Structure 1
Amino acid sequence: MIEFNLLNIAKYTSGHHWNYVNIISPFARIYLITEGEATIYQNRQYYKLTPGNMYLIPAFTNNTYQCTGSFTHYYIHVVIEPQGNLSLFGKDMKVFEVKATPFDYSLFERLLYLHPGKGLWNPDPATYNDCLVKNSENDFLRGYKCKVETFGILSQIVSRFICPEKMEAGQQLTPVRLRALLQYINTNLSEPVSVARLAEKMYLSPDYFSRFFIKYMHLSPLEYIHQKRIEKAQLLLVTTSLSAKEIAASAGYDNLSYFHRQFKKHTTMSPNQFRAIHRNI
C-alpha cells in the first residue's frame, strides 16, 4: 500500500542561515519543533513553525524557508511512495500541522536511536548530496528487524497527517483498473511506455483510452509519464551521485538532450542546477 525510504533523521538547532527560497524537494520533510520559531512560505501563505507541533511538507511543493533567530527541531527527510494513484493527503498539497503528543516525541527518539549518524553530518553545501548518498548506502547494512521497525515508526508518524475522508474521496474518483495502470507506469518508468501499449492493457482504443485518462487524471497519458519520470530524476539527482546521463536512462530517456529539455520544462532549471540548489538544505 505504501513504502518509505528514510533519507535523514536528526535533531538540530538552526540559526539565521536557515533561509532558502523556492525549494522544491523530491522528498517529504517532517519537522517536530521543540524550541524557537521559524516560517515556511508556500502558495501565498505563511506557516509559523512553533514548539510542540509537527509539520509535514509534501514532496514536489514549492517552499521558502525562513528563520530570523534560532529554533531546535527534529527533522525527517523521507520518500513516501503510495501505490497507484493513492493520495495520502488528498489534493491539499500544503504544509500540514498537528499538535505533537508525548508518544510522537518517543517515536522520533526511537528513530534517532535506530539510525545514529543519519543526519546532514556536514552542512557544507558542496557535500550535502554526498551525505544523502552515504546514508542511502548505509541502509543496505541495516538488519531486517531495524527496517521493519523503521517502517512501523514512519507509518505512525505519517498517519498523524492523513485525512481518511480525502483519501477515500480520491480513491472513489479513480477506477480500480486505472489505479492498477498507474502502478504499472510508476514501476516501469525506465522502460519504453507508449500510449498504445497502455491502451492495450486496458482493452481500449488509444483515442478512447486517452480521453478516459484525461477525464480522471486531468492530464494526458504522456504528460503523466513525463511528470513521473522527471520526479524520479529529481529524486536521483538529490540522493545519488549518478551522472545526468545515467539518471536520464533510469528515468526512461535514451536521449540526453531531450531529457534536459523535459527537465527544464518541468522544473525551470537544468539537472545540474537542481542538484546544486538541493545540496544547500
Structure 2
Amino acid sequence: MVKRILKHSFSLLNTDHVKLGKKWNYKNVISPYHRIYFIDDGDGEISNQEETLKLEPGYLYLIPSFTLCDLTCSGYMSQYFVQFFEESSDGISLFANSRSLLKTGAQEIDVINFRRLVEINPGRGINRSDNPKVYEKNAYYNEYQELNNLQNIGDFLETQGILLQLVSRFAINDVFKQKEVKYIPVKVLEAISFIALNLNNSLTVKFLADRANLNVDYFSRLFQQATGCRPAAYINQKKIERAQYLIVTSSSNYETIAEIIGFESLSHFSKTFKKFTGMTPREFKRHVYHSV
C-alpha cells in the first residue's frame, strides 16, 4: 500500500454568514489567499477576463489566491464565506496548475460544515469593511493569525478538517491533476524551507547546493525531479509571489519591495516580475486597483 502524506494545510483568515446588497460591487480584486463562497439566497456574479460565473443558491464557488476577478451584486445576496491561506511542505500550491474561478454543486454536508465553521470561529467576519482594498492589509492578517494561535486545539483541528472538506469538493473539476507523488529528499525539503525563510536574501543555486553538501548539477537535478522546477526558477517564482503579496497588502514602493525580496536592482526586479506575471510591478498594481 502506498502511504500518502497530506502536504497542504490551511490558515483561517475570515469566515461569516453575510447579507449583501448593491454596495458589494468591486473591480479587479486580487488576494494572496483562497476564498470559498456558499450562496443560500439571492444572486450575484464573479468574473475575470475569461469567464463569468453567476452566484446562485445551492452552489459552492472557489477563487484561488492571486486570481484577478470582479465581484458584483445587483440586488440582494446571502452567502457563507471563508478566506484562508495555504501552506505546503514543498511550496507548491494545490492550484499551481489552475487559477480559474471554480463552481460546484453544494451538498447538505457543505451547509453543515459552513455553519459549524462560523460557530467555532466567532468574530471572524470582516468587521471593518467589505471592500477588499480596505481589509486586505498585512496588519489585519497578523491580527487574525494571532486569533488562530489562541484557538484551543479541538477547534483548530476541526477548522482544519472543515477547510480540507470544502476544498476537496472542487477536486471533481480535475483542478488537482498533479504528477505522481514522489518521495522528496530531505535535502530538497530543507532547501525549500530555507528559501521560504530567506526570500529577502540574494539566493543562488550554488549557495543552496553547498549548504546541502551536494554538487551544483546534482542538486539541481534532484530539486527538479522533486518539484518539477529548476531551483533558480523556483527561487524567483517565490520571490515574485512575495512581491505580489506586498504590492497588494502594503504601501511600500517598488524599490523597497525589490530590496525586501533580495533583488539588487529595481530593473532586475521589474524584468523578473514581468517574466512571471506578464506585467511590470506598476502595471500589476494599476490592474489591481483600477476601478471601472
TM-score tier, shorter chain, comes to 0.7 to 0.9
**SS of alignment partner, residue 97 of structure 1:** strand
Structure 2 distance, partners of 1:165, 1:18, is: 30
Kept in 2, the 8 Å contact 1:22–1:62? The answer is yes
| 1:157 corresponds to 2:166 | yes
Change beyond 3 A, Cα 1:7–1:260: farther
Match of 2:239 among 207, 210, 229: 229
Structure 2 distance, partners of 1:75, 1:127, is: 18
Structure 1 position 212, deviation (Å):
7.6
Per-residue CA deviation, residues 130-158 of structure 1 (Å, 9 max, x unaligned), is 6x734632543523323222222212222
Structure 1 distance, partners of 2:62, 2:55, is: 11
Moved more, 101-110 or 223-232: 223-232
Structure 2 distance, partners of 1:129, 1:24, is: 10
Structure 1 position 61, deviation (Å):
1.9
Partner residue in 2 for 1:28:
34
Match of 1:196 among 181, 206, 219: 206
Kept in 1, the 8 Å contact 2:30–2:66? The answer is yes
Change beyond 3 A, Cα 1:256–1:169: closer
Structure 1 distance, partners of 2:102, 2:226, is: 25
**SS of alignment partner, residue 28 of structure 2:** strand
Partner residue in 2 for 1:107:
113
Partner residue in 2 for 1:56:
62
Kept in 1, the 8 Å contact 2:41–2:56? The answer is yes
| 1:144 corresponds to 2:133 | no
**SS of alignment partner, residue 69 of structure 1:** coil
Change beyond 3 A, Cα 1:256–1:19: farther
| 1:73 corresponds to 2:79 | yes
Moved more, 27-36 or 96-105: 96-105
Per-residue CA deviation, residues 194-243 of structure 1 (Å, 9 max, x unaligned), is 1112344383435x76688679878654343232123234435656x685
Change beyond 3 A, Cα 1:136–1:162: farther
Structure 1 distance, partners of 2:225, 2:10, is: 30
Kept in 2, the 8 Å contact 1:264–1:270? The answer is no
Change beyond 3 A, Cα 1:87–1:170: farther
Change beyond 3 A, Cα 1:170–1:99: same
Structure 2 distance, partners of 1:28, 1:160, is: 14
Structure 2 distance, partners of 1:36, 1:259, is: 48
1:160 maps to a residue whose letter is: R
Partner residue in 2 for 1:10:
16
* Pairs aligned (count): 274
Per-residue CA deviation, residues 85-105 of structure 1 (Å, 9 max, x unaligned), is 554346233222222122211
Structure 1 distance, partners of 2:92, 2:79, is: 30
**SS of alignment partner, residue 170 of structure 1:** coil
Change beyond 3 A, Cα 1:166–1:46: closer
Q: Which runs of 5+ in 1 are unaligned?
A: none
| 1:205 corresponds to 2:216 | yes
Match of 2:135 among 114, 128, 151: 128
Structure 1 distance, partners of 2:216, 2:273, is: 32
Change beyond 3 A, Cα 1:158–1:196: same
Q: Which runs of 5+ in 2 are unaligned?
A: 1-6
Moved more, 146-155 or 104-113: 146-155
Q: What do you get for the CA RMSD once the two structures are aligned? A: 3.9
Kept in 2, the 8 Å contact 1:85–1:179? The answer is no
Kept in 1, the 8 Å contact 2:44–2:77? The answer is yes
Kept in 1, the 8 Å contact 2:24–2:73? The answer is yes
2:83 maps to a residue whose letter is: H
Structure 2 distance, partners of 1:134, 1:90, is: 26
**SS of alignment partner, residue 119 of structure 1:** coil
